Structure 1
Amino acid sequence: MLRTLDILLIVIMTAVATITYTIKHRAEEKLGEVRKLEANIRLEKDTIDLLRADWALLTQPARLERLIALYQEELKLQPTDTTQMVQPAELPMLKADLPPVEEADAKDGKKKADDKTAAGKKPKTDDIKTGSVAR
């Protein structure tokens, strides 16, 4: 009986050692994946920093002025007129802010309409006043 118990314990120890080795191997693989991901993240951050520095060099006002002077005849750039600029309050409403064309009355099922839509006309964009363009 002692002999079978020894054999059984050896089998159990072998199984536990195999499971332990498998877990260790998987953990090492995951650690390698984490290191690769960290290296990729570091590379992306360095690339972003390099691109930001490049953007800062490309958008320097002195450089842009030189380019404007160099290509003035091809580009024909002019300063922006103050009448071309609008304030956010002067912009037309978004479609989501417009009142609905028809609203169903929940009580009696009748439909209501605006004055312009009652005659079958939709509001025109020319009717929207922005205040920035002289008419």
Structure 2
Amino acid sequence: MRPLLYLAAALVVMALAFWAYRENYRTQAQVDQMQSVQREIAGLRETLGVLRAEWAYLNRPERLRQLVDMNFERLRLAPVQSNQFGGPRNIDYPPPDLPAPPEDDDWVAPLPSNNHGAPPPRPFRPGFAVPSVADRSPQE
């Protein structure tokens, strides 16, 4: 019985040694792959730094001014002024998608109201002045 126990222990030690050997090489392969990825990241960061430096060099205001002066006849570029910008009210938004009317002719949609049966107020339009009571002239 004792030799069988020694044989089993030897087999377990050999199996564990084989497992440790494989894990060691797998770990080394993963470390090599990680170092390769880190080298690639470092190279890409260096390239990104060079590209940012080139972008800053090409977008220097004095260089752009020279290009505008050289190509003024062809491009007709002029400096940007503050009155060329608009506000959010100047943006034309697309109209909202309305649902298709139902096929049934008997169906009638109720009018939305929040004034106990009175029609809803008209929406405010920018640039449209609503006359007030103070603006009216007294009637004689």
Distance 2:54 2:86 in 1: 32
CA deviation after TM superposition for structure 1 residue 49, in Å:
1.5
**Mean Cα displacement is larger for which, 69-78 or 45-54?**
69-78
**Percent of aligned pairs with the same residue?**
24
**Structure 1 segments unaligned to the other structure (5+ residues):** 114-128
Higher helix share: 1
Distance 2:10 2:79 in 1: 89
Structure 1 segment 120-135 matched on structure 2, within 5 A: none
Distance 2:82 2:50 in 1: 36
Distance 2:108 2:49 in 1: 62
1:56 pairs with 2:56: yes
Structure number with greater Rg is 2
For the residue of structure 2 that corresponds to 1:77, the secondary structure is coil
Distance 2:85 2:38 in 1: 47
CA RMSD of aligned residues (A): 3.2
CA deviation after TM superposition for structure 1 residue 84, in Å:
4.2
Deviations 1:18-66 (A, max 9, x none): 0011111111111111111111111222122111111111110100111
**Structure 2 segments unaligned to the other structure (5+ residues):** 102-106, 112-124, 128-140
The number of residue pairs the alignment matches comes to 111
Q: Structure 1 residues 12, 48: closer, same or farther in 2, change over 3 A?
A: same
Distance 1:76 1:43 in 2: 41
Distance 1:24 1:58 in 2: 51
For the residue of structure 1 that corresponds to 2:46, the secondary structure is helix
Higher strand share: 1
Distance 2:11 2:97 in 1: 78
Higher RCO by CA contacts (8 Å cutoff, separation 6 or greater) = 1
Q: Structure 1 residues 100, 75: closer, same or farther in 2, change over 3 A?
A: closer
Counterpart in the other structure of 1:42 = 42
- Normalised TM-score (structure 2): 0.62
Structure 1 segment 1-135 matched on structure 2, within 5 A: 1-80=1-80, 84-93=84-93, 95=94, 98-102=95-99, 110-111=108-109
